[in-house]
Structure 1
Amino acid sequence: MKYWPLLLLSLLPLWVQALEVGERLAPWTLLDQFDQAYSLDSHTQTLLVARSMDGAKLVDAALQGQPKGYLEARHAVFVADIQRMPRLVAKMFAVPAMRAYSYRVMLDRDGRVAPRYPGAVDKVLWLQLKDGQLLDQHEYATAAQLREALEKAGP
């Protein structure tokens, strides 16, 4: 019985990190696959977050065949959490392969950004923003669902 308070206190950080509608997202800056910096600003309307390779593959499949600038035209930004990827693998193989993509990938190499946005590891988290504040959030488990949502968010 005396372990319940300890258990509840250990779960407190999970509740504290939950995003609420109307909450302003803290600014951050990440490098993309070309080592170009991007800072979250008030112009971003959609933030896509993938916490795993499975999530990143969903985004890639949803964007197949789309022209360069497709995400930018929708004021969307894609963040890939690659903190669990071995650095040598990222440097030698994964990031160079990403340079062939027709879209930018903001790489969260140290887990400073993606953990701020709770969601399922195998899905893509969609955060809908206005002037830096959270309007709505969704999770997508298939590329078809994500592609449809991106089409509806058209320029």
Structure 2
Amino acid sequence: MKYRLALLLALSPMFAQALEVGDQLAPWTLLDQHDQPYTLQEQTRTVLVARNMDGAKLVKSALQDSPKGYLDARNTVFVADIQGMPSLIGKLFAIPAMRDYSYRVLLDRDGKVAANYPGEVDKVLWLQLENGRLVSQQAFASSAELRAALEKLPLN
């Protein structure tokens, strides 16, 4: 019985329902690279999700030379799924390096938040929200295209 339950839990992300336009995003709270909690808010307009290091590097490249508060000014948050990162590497190298970034990185350490938003692994998923509801979604494989899309977002 324990094995069946473990198998079901292990496979559950594979059976995650696709997010549909009009769906309300379930609230979640994650810690950022400074161990500060952030809870998804109704005024958040855009959620960027990177499922692996390649996706995170794409976001980093798109935000290179951006001023502090760039994402906040656009009501945008960045979620990085780091469940596959060895904890020792994360603690000693990756997360301390992220503390120098000019933007907040919400760390999905167990992959539960990112699993709610199915998409391609090597791309950055863009969820456009209005009052917590999904309006549209797209994926980016190019930092230049991601940067151009971020530039078009209205400032608060």
Alignment deviations for residues 58-117 of structure 1 (CA, whole Å, 9 cap, x no partner)? 000000011000000000000000000000100000000000000000000011101110
Q: What is the Cα deviation at residue 41 of structure 1?
A: 1.1
Q: What's the counterpart of residue 106 of structure 1?
A: 106
SS of equivalent residue, structure 2 residue 96: helix
Which one has the largest radius of gyration? 1
When residues 22 and 15 of structure 1 are mapped into structure 2, their CA distance, relative to the original with a 3 A threshold, is farther
Alignment-derived partner of residue 130 in structure 2: 130
Is the 2:16–2:115 contact (alpha carbons within 8 Å) kept by the matching residues of 1? no
Aligned to 2:66: 66
Matches within 5 A, 1:67-82: 67-82=67-82
Q: Secondary structure at the match of 1:58?
A: helix
Q: How does 1:1-155 map to 2 (within 5 A)?
A: 14=14, 16-155=16-155
Separation in structure 2 between the aligned mates of residue 15 and residue 31 of structure 1, nearest angstrom: 26
Q: Runs of at least 4 residues of structure 1 off by over 3 A? A: 11-16
Where does the alignment leave 5 or more consecutive residues of structure 1 unmatched?
1-10
Which residue is equivalent to 2:3? none
- Number of aligned positions between the proteins: 145
Q: Partners in 2 of 1:102 and 1:122 — Cα distance?
A: 23
Deviation at 1:12, TM superposition (A): 9.4
Q: Percent identity over the alignment?
A: 66
Structure 1: distance between partners of 2:95 and 2:154: 28
Question: Take 1:73 and 1:129, find their aligned partners in 2: how far apart are those partners?
Answer: 15
User: Aligned pair in 2 of structure 1 residues 13, 72: CA closer, same or farther (>3 Å)?
Assistant: closer
Distance in 2 between residues matched to 1:133 and 1:141, nearest whole Å: 24
| CA RMSD between the two structures | 1.5
1 CA distance for matches of 2:137 and 2:115? 15
Partners of 2:28 and 2:13 in 1: how far apart? 20
